[in-house]
Amino acid sequence: MRRREFIALLGSGVAGWPLALRAQQAAKLPTIGFLGANNASFERGSTDAFVQRLRELGWIDNRTVAIEYRWAEGREARFAEIATEFVRLKVDVIFTYATPSSIAAKRATAVIPIVFAAAGDPVGSGLVASLARPGGNITGLSIQQTDLASKRLEILRELLPGLRTLAILVDTGASNSDLERGEAQTAANALGLATLISEVRRVDDIAPAFDALKGRAEALYVCGSPLLTTNRIRVNNLALGVRLPTMNGFREYVVAGGLTSYGPNFPSLFRSAADYVDKILRGAKPSDLPVEQPTKFDFIINLTTAKILGLEIPPTLLTRADEVIE
């Protein structure tokens, strides 16, 4: 072989080394399968908090860890599809958000560790055996979705002293939504309120549900579910159309035009969930990590929506609000 040809061949081989090396390194990176129940836009703040906390713990995307993002857009069938894909990819940890997607992940694998950032009622829905001893391959954070129903209704009662009949919108396809409906009914009964249940299971059920509520209630309690959260703008617009003040569990509802929300701070939950992922990637077993409960709760009011509904927000509520949207 001529000297010039040998040098050219050697040069081309060296040039190829970094690419090959990077490919080998990428193949060795521990991988997190991120199962987003809604969409990237809705979960942006929480996702950023999760990724930032991972960086603080030494897990930098595409350098020390790989994150595979998948978004279900609130469609229940997609939860199982994405979970199955993660099993096929042999990810090291499946990260989930919301109860239905967490249940889908648990059904897909009993081997790959699963961390849920915000399950409505992990014990009641069967995700874990108990908060202290979750058992199996799954753990994470509870948002006490059912436990907060009474607090939300107390706020509604203070906002609407004349409240007599409460409409409850529930997604019967989501187990946590159905559990929350029961808690909301119990809390309403304790306050002497009549309840009117409106059930949905698909997007096409939402508009007819509001048609049926017109003139029959003074307020609407929206039970949490990926379907309803993904369609929160539609829910809010329809509620305004039938003059129903709304109570929700998520700030994003109020940003999208809902009246009030009371619930956990989700960026904080996602940061805590990153701690679970860190421990598992370093060898901890999910069964040894107790389920945590939130310590920070946010009360949000949308004054623009209140004005549209002709409501005067009591000064005591405005003072207690963590955020007032105008």
93 and 241 in a common domain: no
200 and 232 in a common domain: yes
Domain of 136, CATH number, reads 3.40.50.2300
Report the domain count for the chain. 2
* Residue 110 phi, psi dihedral angles, 5° rounding: -110, 10
**Which is it for the CA torsion 312, 315, 321, 323, positive or negative?**
positive
Q: How far apart are CA 33 and CA 56, in angstroms?
A: 19
Q: Which range marks the domain in which residue 188 is found?
A: 149-264+298-325
Query: Which pLDDT score is estimated for 46?
Result: 92
What's 262's DSSP letter?
E
217 and 308 in a common domain: yes
| pLDDT 10s digits, 72-98 | 988 888 999 999 999 999 999 999 988
Query: Which pLDDT score is estimated for 145?
Result: 60
221 and 108 in a common domain: no
pTM above 0.85, yes or no: no
225 and 155 in a common domain: yes
24 and 70 in a common domain: yes
Which residue ranges in the chain fall short of pLDDT 50? 1-26
30 and 107 in a common domain: yes
* Number of CB atoms found within 10 A of residue 320's CB: 12
109 and 89 in a common domain: yes
Closest among 262, 280, 276 to 153, alpha carbons compared: 262
Q: How far apart are CA 127 and CA 136, in angstroms?
A: 9
Radius of gyration of the chain (CA): 23
220 and 167 in a common domain: yes
154 and 138 in a common domain: no
279 and 214 in a common domain: no
321 and 215 in a common domain: yes
